[in-house]
Amino acid sequence: MKNIGIIGYGWLGERIASSLSGKYTISATTTTENKASDLNNRGLNAVMASFPDYQLTEPVPQWEEINTIDALIITIPVSEKSCCVSSLYNRIQNLSSFIGDFKGQMFLMSSTGVYPDLPKDFIEEDVPLESVSGERMLRNKYPQLSILRLGGLMGDNRLLKNYNVGNLDHAVNHIHYADISAIITKMIESKAETKLYNVTAPIHPAKSQVINAQKNIPDEEVFEVKGKKVLSSKLVSELDYVFQYPDPRTFHL
């Protein structure tokens, strides 16, 4: 049975682990000893680890589990929105010390936030990874890295109606966590490497339409949906993938 490593056992990491645990053994990192202990009691191989955005006096020790891991999933933020470029470099250096010269399959959970807020349809080539600092730095260190640019993470307790949002006539670029897990599983099984994919549900209703659906309010108004749409057509074509949740208006069902 393959061993999957998840760096960052947060909201998304937990759901990916839950989906993969039936097929694979799971090793994970978390930021507190209590949570690591709890995960170990639940059958995961968990350790406490953090990757600060400053230079350490001593390198981060290498993960003892790393030589047993077949595929590595990174869910911690490595974007300029979370820190400046120099701080981002430090964070990636600390992460690299932890995973060493890892050669297995590797996945970075990036974001569709790399695309500018313009009213157009975006594909991966519109913003190449070379122009995204975190993606570029990690790909340079790990050439096998696949990058998944995730839309807004939704499902379970994450529903748009629970948030204070503006521009209600603008399109959503959302993704259900179950599809993220299924896409990663398919890529692991097909031994995919060095890929760059947008991961968004293929239907892009307006925010107001999603909120109305979640509140069970009839959506009678017909209007033009504005704003940007981030397309996942490359992923669908190359992986022959069929979304479990293609329409964000049904994520709550």
Output the tens digit of pLDDT for each of the chain's 253 residues.
Answer: 799 999 999 999 999 999 999 899 999 999 999 999 999 999 899 999 999 888 888 899 999 999 999 999 999 988 766 567 888 999 999 999 999 999 999 999 999 999 999 999 999 999 999 999 999 999 999 999 999 999 999 999 999 999 999 999 999 999 999 999 999 999 999 999 999 999 999 999 999 999 999 999 998 777 789 999 999 999 999 999 999 999 999 999 9
Q: What share of residues in the chain are helix, strand, coil (percent, to 5)?
A: 35, 20, 45
213 within domain boundaries: no
109-122: burial string, b at 16+ Cβ within 10 Å, e else: bbbbbbbeeeeeeb
Residues 6+ apart with CB under 8 A from 99: 7, 62, 63, 66, 72
Q: Would you say 141 and 92 are in contact if contact means Cβ atoms under 8 Å apart? A: yes
Q: At 62, which CATH number?
A: 3.40.50.720
User: What pLDDT is recorded for position 161?
Assistant: 96
- Parallel/antiparallel/unpaired status of strands 146-150 and 25-30: unpaired
Q: Using N-to-C axis directions, what is the helix angle for 133-141 and 85-99, rounded to 10°?
A: 30
How many Cβ atoms sit within 10 Å of the Cβ of residue 252?
A: 18
Beta strands in 31-145 (DSSP E): 45-48, 71-74, 105-111, 121-122
135 within domain boundaries: yes
167 within domain boundaries: no
146 within domain boundaries: yes
Q: CA 193, CA 242: separation in Å to the nearest integer?
A: 20
60-74: burial string, b at 16+ Cβ within 10 Å, e else: beebebbeebebbbb
Please report, as a single letter, which amino acid is at residue 1.
M
Domain range for 46 is 3-158+174-202+228-246
How many Cβ atoms sit within 10 Å of the Cβ of residue 45?
A: 17
Rg value, the chain, Cα: 19
Which two tokens mark 91?
A: 């964070």
219 within domain boundaries: no
User: What pLDDT is recorded for position 113?
Assistant: 95
Q: What angle do CA 10, 179, 207 make, to 5 degrees?
A: 85
223 within domain boundaries: no
User: What pLDDT is recorded for position 82?
Assistant: 57
166 within domain boundaries: no
The strands making up 196-199's β-sheet, listed across from edge to edge, are 45-48, 25-30, 3-7, 71-74, 105-111, 146-150, 196-199
77 within domain boundaries: yes
User: What pLDDT is recorded for position 81?
Assistant: 66
Residue with tokens 């107001």: 208
Number of domains into which the chain is organized: 1
